[in-house]
Amino acid sequence: MIKDALAQFQQALSGSNCRLVAVSKTHPVELIQEAYEAGQRLFGENRVQELVAKQPELPADIEWHLIGHLQTNKVKYIAPFVHTIQSVDSLKLLLEIERQAARHNRVVRVLLQFHIAEEETKFGLSLPEAEALLRDEAARTLSHVQIAGVMGVATNTSDEQQLRHEFGTLRGYFEQLRREFFADDEAFREISMGMSGDFRLAIAEGSTLIRVGSAIFGNRAYPAA
Ligand SMILES: *Cc1c(COP(=O)(O)O)cnc(C)c1O
């Protein structure tokens, strides 16, 4: 089943500018291994503890993305191996990632997470907050962090117009920041948006990374807050 689902995504995305992050939170390493053997290399987890437990059990060439809220004091646990931290929403967190990545002589890719949903509970920056962050002297001298784009979680709704509006808003933020801060930086190129229920709309609105869990692995056995 996992293999079939992945084959459909591979086919749908082939030749496009969009890649699939398989969101494996709550699922055992056996299922992740199965997806790996079907050719999947990008995986997303939302909890540090779970990611740190799974990573050593799985092939070293997996590109691990942290997609959940990250506390500053937990950066050190994932700094040795994480490929992309998609959930950066403060300068403090950005600077801690710089510090921990430097300790391991690595460059960690990060995305700035934006608040695009209606729900108040979702984490993320506003455009003015992101601009302030990027203007800060400290953010301009990072050498172990590569700011590679933006990420957002849309409202949990089936209202297509609203979803398109939220995805379009995130793409607008991306374009604005690229003009303002990353005009000569080809590494700034990711728009991470779209999940199992809304990835088609997200792709239509310019997503370069869809984060899909249940459409690949089935329903989660327990909630992954
Ligand atoms: C769980 C999660 C996903 C995947 O959700 P599905 O609906 O299972 O595809 C995507 N993004 C984030 C931030 C998540 O926490």
Question: Is-contact 55 71, C-beta < 8 A?
Answer: no
**Residue 134 identity (one-letter amino acid):** L
Residue 212 beta carbon below 6 angstroms from any ligand 1 atom? yes
Atom of ligand 1 nearest to the CA of 23: 4
Q: Are strands 209-212 and 42-45 parallel, antiparallel or unpaired?
A: unpaired
Query: Whole-prediction pTM value?
Result: 0.96
Q: How far apart are CA 30 and CA 33, in angstroms?
A: 5
pLDDT at 189: 98
Separation of CA 140 and ligand 1 centre (Å)? 31
| Ordered structural domains, the chain, with CATH | 2-217 (3.20.20.10)
Atom of ligand 1 nearest to the CA of 214: 8
Residue 46 beta carbon below 6 angstroms from any ligand 1 atom? yes
Q: How far apart are CA 207 and CA 155, in angstroms?
A: 16
pLDDT at 222: 64
Residue 207 beta carbon below 6 angstroms from any ligand 1 atom? no
pLDDT > 80? residue 224: no
Residue nearest to atom 12 of ligand 1 (CA): 67
Separation of CA 195 and ligand 1 centre (Å)? 6
Sequence-separated (6 or more) residues with CB below 8 Å from residue 88:
70, 94, 97, 110, 111, 112, 113
Q: What is the pLDDT of residues 9-37, one digit of tens each?
A: 999 999 899 999 999 999 999 999 999 99
pLDDT band at 122 (very low <50, low <70, confident <90, very high): low
Sequence-ordered alpha helix ranges (H) in 14-144: 29-37, 48-54, 75-78, 91-103, 127-135
Residue nearest to atom 10 of ligand 1 (CA): 211
Question: Is-contact 109 74, C-beta < 8 A?
Answer: no
Residue 196 beta carbon below 6 angstroms from any ligand 1 atom? yes
Q: What is the pLDDT of residues 196-217, one digit of tens each?
A: 999 999 999 999 999 999 999 9
